[in-house]
Amino acid sequence: MESLLSLDDGRWLRPSDESCPPLNNEASNGPLMLGNIRQPSPPPVLAQIKPEVLPISPSRVADPRPGPAKPFVDGMPSSNSYQHLHIPVKMMQDFLRLAQENTAKNLETCGVLAGSLKNRMFHITTLIIPKQESTSDSCQTLNEEEIFEVQDKFSLFQLGWIHTHPSQTCFMSSVDLHTHYSYQIMLPEAIAIVMAPTDTSSPHGIFHLSDPGGVSVIRNCQQRGFHPHEEAEDGSPIYEHCSHVYMNQNLKFEVVDLR
């Protein structure tokens, strides 16, 4: 039986004496078989947007307190339209090692999360690191056709993206929210992972836009660059911790570094 840890609050990497959540045996013990899966070309990982006025610090206009993961009811999230999504346990730390050189220079690093669908569960099996240009608070992919080629070659779904905040806390900036919107409208289960190695209280977070509240706010927002957002009509946070994500210690993954 695989040992799976539900990620509903972003705290799984912290040392703790608390007992782990119940075991989940829904994941398959066999190797993951990649089927002939086709989908539209994915959006860029992060489009760098030049502000039209003086730059605003992303931490000043972001909501640093994402909403909590939706509670489970009878073993299913309250938004039961989400399929479970499994992440290899070691993938996030491996990504930090790949980003270490940029992090030391206070530059962001981004990557694409791709994988398969099996038994109505998504599995992240490939971490793609594209060619990119970075600043301390932005990351722009280059030669994006190379990302598409990898996904097409192995018939992979694009399941989300991951990026670092090398010197900031763990939150989704307004640019991050707009970036993730393009992923989530293609696949509701898509996730955004933020790795913040200098944030001792919350070194990582696995987020998505609240639906329908946050999705509606970003859909209707025409602003660019770092900017504040209005509150969702239903009063929900614009983004929240994911409740459909599981850490899977038996899930294998590959790294495709295109840099």
Tens digit of each residue's pLDDT (9 = 90 or more) over 210-230 = 999 999 999 999 888 888 888
The pLDDT assigned to 37 comes to 39
> How far apart, in whole angstroms, are the C-alpha atoms of residue 187 and residue 176?
17
Helix (H, G, I), strand (E, B) or coil at 137: coil
- The count of C-alpha atoms lying within 13 angstroms of the C-alpha of 183, restricted to the half-sphere facing its C-beta, is 26
User: 63 falls in which pLDDT band (50, 70, 90)?
Assistant: low
In angstroms, the Cα distances linking 238 to 7, 132, 158, 207 are: 19, 28, 22, 10
Higher-scoring residue by pLDDT: 200, 50: 200
The pLDDT assigned to 65 comes to 59
CA 101 vs. chain centroid, Å, equals 21
The pLDDT assigned to 239 comes to 95
pTM above 0.85, yes or no: no
User: If you average pLDDT over residues 58-78, what whole number do you get?
Assistant: 54
- The DSSP string of 30-61 is SPPP------PPPPPS------SSS---HHHH
Least-confidence region, from 75-79, 80-84, 212-216: 75-79
> How far apart, in whole angstroms, are the C-alpha atoms of residue 217 and residue 110?
24
Residue recorded with tokens 């929240």 = 240
Least-confidence region, from 66-80, 83-97, 180-194: 66-80
In angstroms, the Cα distances linking 41 to 139, 180, 238 are: 20, 15, 26
User: 81 falls in which pLDDT band (50, 70, 90)?
Assistant: confident
User: For the chain, what percent of residues have pLDDT higher than 90?
Assistant: 62
User: If you average pLDDT over residues 141-145, what whole number do you get?
Assistant: 94
> How far apart, in whole angstroms, are the C-alpha atoms of residue 233 and residue 213?
7
- Contacts of 205 by beta carbon, 8 Å cutoff, 6+ apart: 10, 66, 170, 171, 172, 193, 194, 196, 241
Higher-scoring residue by pLDDT: 54, 170: 170
Which two tokens mark 49? 């947007």
Helix (H, G, I), strand (E, B) or coil at 257: strand
Which two tokens mark 70? 């939706």
